[in-house]
Structure 1
Amino acid sequence: MNNIIETLAPYALNFVIAVIIFIIGKYAAKILTSLFKKFLDKSNVNETLKVFLGNIVYGLLLIVVVLSALNQLGIQTTSFVAILGAIGLAVGLAFQGTLSNISAGVMIVIFRPINIGDFVEAGGVAGTIEEINLFNTIFKTPDNKVIIVSNSNIIGGNIINYSKKDTRRVDFVFGIGYEDDLKLAKNTLLEIVNDDKRVLQDPEPFVAVKELGDSSVNFVVRVWVKSEDYWGVHFDTMERVKLTFDNKGISIPYPQMDIHTNKIQ
């Protein structure tokens, strides 16, 4: 009996030490991860990226703790490292698409081409960004549909962010008849845009003859507005131009073709 106790005593001691290493190491890993997250907080890192990086750091520290505990038990950890590497490679190959979405999500969070609340065109859809997570981005369309787009599709294509800047330019083209008063039409367009308080005066509104079309003289009108006023100014200006032109007798011609025939004697 004494021989058995003497034989098992070193193993029992190593087992106790290994358990202590695991408990203390796990506690230390949590503390270090918490300190790492606080560092990220001071660096104004996005919440999604902070959680993602925190989980990675904690996982790596926990692996070190487990390997240290196994080493205390006398188990060769070299083979475990090789096994973990093989498992990691297999998981990476199996979830290649998922990992690409995660890496794309991290890129979105770091470089911030889009932010929550922005109206953008990306990944083949257009809408307001409601959520950005590690795997996908959630859009809300103007007609209140929810569209979920994988992050890799967003990063892999063009991104048009309509909310990135504080101001946007609204462009119009209005046509009048050749028989209409050109100066009257130009002054009328300037009055309409200048009367709208949402239209910015710096840069000042621009009105000019764009082209002499087949059936109309076309004006280009360009005004700058705050991004949130874009569609309001667009729709209201279209309506006001039509009503004002009607009141002033300025025609808005539609495409037409005059055909002249010669009578054969």
Structure 2
Amino acid sequence: MNNKIQTSFVDIIDKIEGWVSSFIENLPNLIVAIIVMVISYYIARFVNKWAVKLASKRIPQNSISNLIGRMCAVIVVSVGLFLALGAMDLSKTLDTLLAGAGISGLVIGLALQGTLSNLLSGVVLSFRKKIEIGNWIETNGFSGEVIDINLSSLVLKEFDNNLVVIPNKTIIENPFKNYSLTSKMRIVVECGVGYESDLEQVEKLTREAVAGLYTSDDDSEIEFYYTEFADSSINFICRFWVDAENAKNKLDAKSVAIKAVKKSFNANDINIPFPIRTLEFNNKLNVNNTQNGEFASQN
């Protein structure tokens, strides 16, 4: 019994001595690994600040800039970790970490598929010049001013001051209309005049009313076209260009043009008819006709 105990103590002492010897032998490699990790940490901090500063010049969203900085820092630290493990001759451990990272990345990617899709879409939107903060856009049935593009969603402020939060993935996968990309918009005014109206005079008055509101720097003309013989009127459209960058400017311009055309028509006795239904009775009814028992009883 005593021999077994002594043998066990000897084995334990031998293992401890072996560990100490291995530690002393690998002490230079350990020091090198620690130095590599410290250097990589400070390099990662510098890279983080540099990447955030560089990204903020092109991306107005702080969340996206910070994300890019953190990703660059993680890459630097990961490289430092692999170099440190290599310096300590832990190649097998390095292979195990790489295999585990691949499996973990696959599991996390499947679990957070929607979240990662919105995150990547937010990064893509941040680099798109065709949609920026302050633009007036229309997408997915909503229209408003872009006030924020973050890592998960895009925020619109509508006419009524309500905020609409739209996932970034939805913006990427669906078309959108950006009113702020151009400085001009075409306004279309539709109207109808009575059949008794002088059509030449109507066209002249409409052109003059619109021309008195907006002056154009280019050669774009005011377009006027009669479109149809309707039930109660002869309908026409008038098209012209105005300086506008959002839907509100477009509505304002159309409203002003309609008031100007209506005022001009009133001053020149041009009738803008509303739908009229005429009832005509060709069979002369005689309520006193004694042959009709119903009418006779009423009399």
Q: TM-score range by the shorter chain?
A: 0.7 to 0.9
Partner in structure 1 of residue 6 of structure 2: none
Partner in structure 2 of residue 62 of structure 1: 77
Quick check: 144-153 or 47-56, which moved more?
47-56
- Per the normalisation by structure 2, the TM-score is 0.78
Partner in structure 2 of residue 216 of structure 1: 233
Residues 193 and 199, structure 1, Cα contact 8 Å, conserved in 2? no
Q: 1:46 aligns with which of 44, 47, 59?
A: 59
Give matches, 1:1-265, under 5 Å.
6-32=21-47, 45-48=58-61, 50-75=65-90, 76-197=93-214, 202-228=219-245, 229-263=249-283
Partner Cα distance (1:81, 1:104) in 2? 27
Gapped regions of structure 1 (runs ≥ 5): none
The Cα offsets for residues 33-91 of structure 1, whole Å up to 9 and x where unpaired, read as 555567667xx643445544333222122111122223333432100011111111111
Gapped regions of structure 2 (runs ≥ 5): 1-12, 286-299
1:196 CA drift (Å):
0.6
1:7 CA drift (Å):
4.8
- Per the normalisation by structure 1, the TM-score is 0.87
- Which stretches of structure 1, 4 residues or longer, exceed 4 Å deviation after superposition? 3-7, 32-41, 47-51, 198-201
Partner Cα distance (1:39, 1:141) in 2? 32
Residues 55 and 68, structure 2, Cα contact 8 Å, conserved in 1? no
1:19 CA drift (Å):
1.3
Q: Considering only CA atoms, is the larger Rg found in Structure 1 or Structure 2? A: 2
Quick check: 218-227 or 65-74, which moved more?
65-74
Partner Cα distance (2:106, 2:240) in 1? 56
RMSD across aligned C-alpha pairs, in angstroms? 2.6
- The count of aligned residue pairs is 262
Residues 22 and 66, structure 1, Cα contact 8 Å, conserved in 2? yes
Partner Cα distance (2:102, 2:75) in 1? 13
Report the AA paired with residue 114 of structure 2: G
Residues 59 and 127, structure 2, Cα contact 8 Å, conserved in 1? yes
Quick check: 73-82 or 160-169, which moved more?
73-82
Partner Cα distance (2:210, 2:284) in 1? 53
Partner Cα distance (1:245, 1:215) in 2? 17
Partner Cα distance (1:45, 1:67) in 2? 32
1:130 CA drift (Å):
0.7
Residues 127 and 142, structure 1, Cα contact 8 Å, conserved in 2? yes
